[in-house]
Amino acid sequence: MLHTTQLYQHVPETRWPIVYSPRYNITFMGLEKLHPFDAGKWGKVINFLKEEKLLSDSMLVEAREASEEDLLVVHTRRYLNELKFLFERVEGISRATIIDLDAHQGNGHERDFMDDKRVYIMDVYNRHIYPGDRFAKQAIRRKVELEWGTEDDEYLVKVERNIEKALQEHLPDVVVYNAGTDILEGDRLGGLSISPAGVVKRDELVFRMVRGRQVPILMVTSGGYQKRTARIIADSILNLFGLGLIGPESPSISAQNSDTLLLPPAVP
């Protein structure tokens, strides 16, 4: 039975590839301030970008809310999520890669795509923290387990080396990039020690390598349990724009077109 939906809409070329709604910022009588996760960080990111004159409200894309019928289409059989919906509804999408760089193991999408060969999962995470889901790890095609307090140099080398191998093993039609900022130094839940500059460089590295292969990339901001993460996310977006890696009509960038050497040749 054919399902009709109002979710899809024409997006003018004048709009940026940034999806945002004020409804993303969660408030509950001020109680959200007691939680370690900054539930209003997305609004702060947008405000920072407005202050930098990078964008305005008219340049943003606001997603439409899914109806119950839409969700029932997505969540059939084994709680299918929107990426499987993507395979069914978007022409030309038959292979996808998830690059999960949140500090925590992404056991949710790993369980969802356990037996789906169309989806290649690369996960880089602190091996000592939640969730430690051994069953879900079976779905990871490229697993990078980090130790407590991993710092910039080691982290960036491992991320780059493994993205390179992942894209060689499975060249996708689209990359979904989980750009968690809980890797930031001082994040008690993430347990890693990546500097703000390291977070910005990580995002640049991912975009440069994926865009250099002419592959579309969707970046989602997830974990990050410090109030300063919004400013770092905004700085990263500004950096990607300055390098021509994002924008309304960003040209494709060579993976090797960088001012600095991306990867030392002899790192395990």
Contact 172, 152 (CB under 8 A): no
Is 59 in the same domain as 104?
no
CA distances to 3, 87, 90, 261 from 160, rounded to whole Å, are 41, 27, 29, 11
In a domain, 43, yes or no: yes
DSSP E strand boundaries for the chain:
96-100, 119-126, 142-146, 174-178, 217-220
In a domain, 73, yes or no: no
Is 214 in the same domain as 152?
yes
Is 60 in the same domain as 117?
no
Whole-angstrom distance, CA of residue 101 vs CA of residue 129: 14
Is 117 in the same domain as 236?
yes
pLDDT tens, position by position, for the chain (268 residues)? 677 888 878 888 888 889 999 988 887 777 677 667 787 888 999 999 999 999 999 999 998 887 767 767 656 545 445 456 667 667 889 999 999 999 999 999 999 899 999 999 999 999 999 999 999 999 999 999 999 999 999 999 999 999 999 999 999 999 999 999 999 999 999 999 999 999 999 999 999 999 999 999 999 998 898 989 999 999 999 999 999 999 876 555 555 444 433 444 444 3
Is 189 in the same domain as 236?
yes
In a domain, 250, yes or no: no
Is 39 in the same domain as 158?
no
The four Cα atoms 154, 155, 159, 165 give a dihedral, to 10 degrees, of 30
In a domain, 191, yes or no: yes
In a domain, 267, yes or no: no
Is 181 in the same domain as 233?
yes
Is 57 in the same domain as 177?
no
Domain count, the chain: 2
Is 113 in the same domain as 225?
yes
CATH for 205 = 3.40.800.20
How many other CB atoms are found less than 10 A from the CB of residue 148?
11
Contact 225, 189 (CB under 8 A): yes
Whole-angstrom distance, CA of residue 149 vs CA of residue 221: 21
Domain of 227? Answer: 92-243
Is 171 in the same domain as 111?
yes
**CA angle 132-116-223, nearest 5°?**
40
Q: What is the pTM of this model?
A: 0.81
Whole-angstrom distance, CA of residue 257 vs CA of residue 124: 25
In a domain, 77, yes or no: no
